Structure 1
Amino acid sequence: MSNDEVVAVLGHELGHWALWHTLINLVITELNILLMLSVFAYFYRWELLYEVTDVLMSIHSRRCEFAADEYATKLGYGDRLISSLTKLGK
């Protein structure tokens, strides 16, 4: 990857920080753990609960990734971010 592509990826990661994704995800994860512990005795064999929470966490994760991509794009690194993510995906 070129230096500009690395900077674009860093811009994306800074987007996570600037948009509070790290703290928000920490709180969501802790709440998820508390939920799972509090209902474990009743729902521990109920697979649907785990599937629903997995889907919700995946949706939230995708939204965070797109928001960080948008942040890097607003910083002017959109084209280089596309290039670097394409290389990282190979």
Structure 2
Amino acid sequence: SVDEIVAILAHELGHWKMWHTACNLLVVQAHLLAFFFCLGGVLGYPGLYSSFGFGGERATVVGLLLFSNIISPVEHVIQFLQHLLSRRFEYQADQYAVDQGRGEDLTRGLIKISKENKSDANPDPLYSAYHHTHPALIERLGAIEKALKKRS
């Protein structure tokens, strides 16, 4: 319905008003800066090559492969933290829609979107926290309901 679309739009405007896109951009840029700084350090460190049996050779491809293996666990932690931030932003944008008087419509709209996308409304919390940038539908609906009760 039109009211549900307006509620979803209010949610998206919440992202805009709270500078979520700019914050995400800064986080990604900081991540890339740190990544390339570390990559430069690894590619320029001869001890790394020799410790893996590459002697005096410092082939860039070898350095990239070694770096990708070294950085992989760190990248998993960073991805988890980025998803936590993204999920927090989703709750804040939902709260903004509730504050605009669109909580009930947002609830109905999110349910329709979830059904249309055939998404799991209640996935395992650990799996969801690691793999999904948005909270599970059941978690979002609970937070919206709590905000609506607090508001009235």
Q: TM-score, normalised by structure 2?
A: 0.56
Post-superposition Cα deviations, 1:16-69, rounded to whole Å, max 9, x if no partner, equal: 000010111111111111111111253431221111100000000000000000
| 2:68 pairs with 1:44 | yes
Counterpart in 2 of 1:28?
27
| 2:103 pairs with 1:78 | yes
Counterpart in 1 of 2:136?
none
Unaligned runs of 5+ in 1: none
Deviation for aligned residue 1:88: 0.5
Q: Percent same amino acid among aligned pairs?
A: 39
Larger fraction in helix: 1
C-alpha distance in structure 2 between counterparts of 1:50 and 1:68, whole Å:
27
4+ aligned runs moved over 2 Å, structure 1: 40-44
What is the RMSD computed on CA atoms of the aligned residues? 1.1
Whichever residue aligns with residue 98 of structure 2, its letter is: T
Whichever residue aligns with residue 57 of structure 1, its letter is: Q
Whichever residue aligns with residue 28 of structure 2, its letter is: T
Whichever residue aligns with residue 26 of structure 2, its letter is: V
| 2:84 pairs with 1:59 | yes
Q: TM-score, normalised by structure 1?
A: 0.93
Whichever residue aligns with residue 52 of structure 1, its letter is: V
Higher RCO structure, 1 or 2 (CA under 8 Å, sep 6+): 1
Unaligned runs of 5+ in 2: 43-66, 116-152
Deviation for aligned residue 1:11: 0.2
Q: Residue 11 of structure 2 aligns to a residue in which SS? A: helix
Q: Residue 69 of structure 2 aligns to a residue in which SS? A: coil
